[in-house]
Amino acid sequence: MGELTVEDMMNRFGLELIAGHAGIHKQIQMSDISRPGLEMAGYFDYYPAERVQLIGRKEMSFLETLPAITRRKRLERLCSVDTPAFIIAHGEEGPRELSQLAEEKNIPVLRTDYKTTQFSGMLTNYLVGQLAPMTTVHGVLVDVYGVGVLITGGSGVGKSETALELIKKGHRLVADDSVEIRQVSDNVLIGTSPKLLKHMLEIRGVGIIDLMTLFGASSVKDDKRVLLAVDLEIWDDKKHYDRLGIDEEKVEILDSQITKLSVPVRPGRNIAVIIEVAAMDYRMKRLGINAAEEFTKRLDQAIADNAELLDEEERD
């Protein structure tokens, strides 16, 4: 589970703090958002206090219809200790009582200029992404022809060097050395770089380089869906490597399965080119063109034809 504070959310959307400054380090645990209209009308049975509470124009104009005492009572109940924050849409101030009560209970009240529904969508996407299950993988994530390729392998096998060559060929780096992978939905893994390492690449003998300054904005990407894992390993004569590509190997990251290739490394094998081809072949397979399968069919047909010839010869 990722960790997310109200302050992170404020920074992401440029929200303005109206009250409750003391609570900006509160954690947000739920990706769902609540619009507390029914609660304002007095129905608190299923009040999801632990969600971010989003207040739009409708809720505000309804509050104004309530007698002052009722309004205060209900707003008091809304200000639960579990509530991470209130957000007022349309750039409005929101009810004064809410700011006062929230200030007392250290719940931040924030303001956005966006419309309620629009902001609700943006916020949900953001929260789902941030609160999704997360893991960190030792490897390099590169966007190759639109396919997110996660290059893994032991230390010193040449992951970063391979990435550098891919970038020189016009592909884009997402993360070097440590890739943060979030599962945003079933079988959808999104990889990003830890903030500190963003755009950086470490090359033995040279040190840390900044790709953005060296190669420009086209050489980097902030996040990318991970579709293919390529595991680099030092060539082992005793090991059998896939020659046909008929069987797809999978690797499990979080709860998702992704296609994995084991690529042996040895002098004279240009790994960057192999990864480019692997990414293109992966795309072709997803488009329904499977070279290995086509070839197998062709071979099976040829064998069947030859078997028939043999039968005929025997009969003669």
Partner 1 sequence: MVEKTVKVGIKPGLQARQAALFVQEANKYTADIYLKKDNRQVNAKSIMGIMSLAIAKGTEITLITDGIDEDLALQNLADLVEVEQ
Catalytic residues: 138, 159, 177, 243
Angle between helices 68-78 and 96-104 (to 10 degrees): 40
Q: Per CB under 8 A, does 69 bind partner 1?
A: no
Burial class (CB in 10 A: 0-12, 13-18, 19+), 39: buried
Count residues contacting partner 1 (CB under 8 A)?
Answer: 16
Q: Per CB under 8 A, does 300 bind partner 1?
A: yes
Is 204 or 240 the residue whose CB approaches partner 1 more closely? 240
- Residue 84 near residue 27, CB atoms below 8 Å: yes
CB 235, min distance to partner 1, A: 13
State the Cα–Cα distance between residues 113 and 16, nearest whole angstrom: 9
Residue written as tokens 């790709």?
211
> Could you tell me which of 288, 134, 132, 150 has the C-alpha nearest to residue 225?
150
Can you tell me whether residue 289 is helix, strand or coil?
coil
H-state helical runs in 4-155? 6-13, 37-40, 57-65, 68-78, 96-104, 116-131
List the interface residues with partner 1, window 252-291 (CB under 8 A).
none
Known binder of ligand: residue 160? yes
Q: Per CB under 8 A, does 80 bind partner 1?
A: no
Kindly tell me which residue out of 240, 267, 268, 287 binds partner 1, with binding defined by CB under 8 A.
Answer: 240
Is 217 or 310 the residue whose CB approaches partner 1 more closely? 310
Strands 223-234, 188-192: parallel, antiparallel or unpaired by DSSP? antiparallel
Q: Per CB under 8 A, does 244 bind partner 1?
A: yes
Q: Per CB under 8 A, does 196 bind partner 1?
A: no
In Å, how far are 2, 63, 90, 115, 311 from 56, measured between CA atoms? 28, 11, 7, 8, 81
CB 285, min distance to partner 1, A: 16
Q: Per CB under 8 A, does 43 bind partner 1?
A: no
State the Cα–Cα distance between residues 307 and 301, nearest whole angstrom: 10
Q: Per CB under 8 A, does 302 bind partner 1?
A: yes
Token representation of residue 12: 């992401």
Kindly tell me which residue out of 208, 214, 246, 284 binds partner 1, with binding defined by CB under 8 A.
Answer: 246
Kindly tell me which residue out of 203, 217, 291, 310 binds partner 1, with binding defined by CB under 8 A.
Answer: 310
Is 17 or 274 the residue whose CB approaches partner 1 more closely? 274
* Span from 20-28, 215-223, 239-247, 268-276 in contact with partner 1 (CB under 8 A): 239-247
Known binder of ligand: residue 158? yes
Question: Residues in the site for partner 1, rule: CB under 8 A?
Answer: 240, 243-244, 246, 292, 295-296, 299-300, 302-307, 310
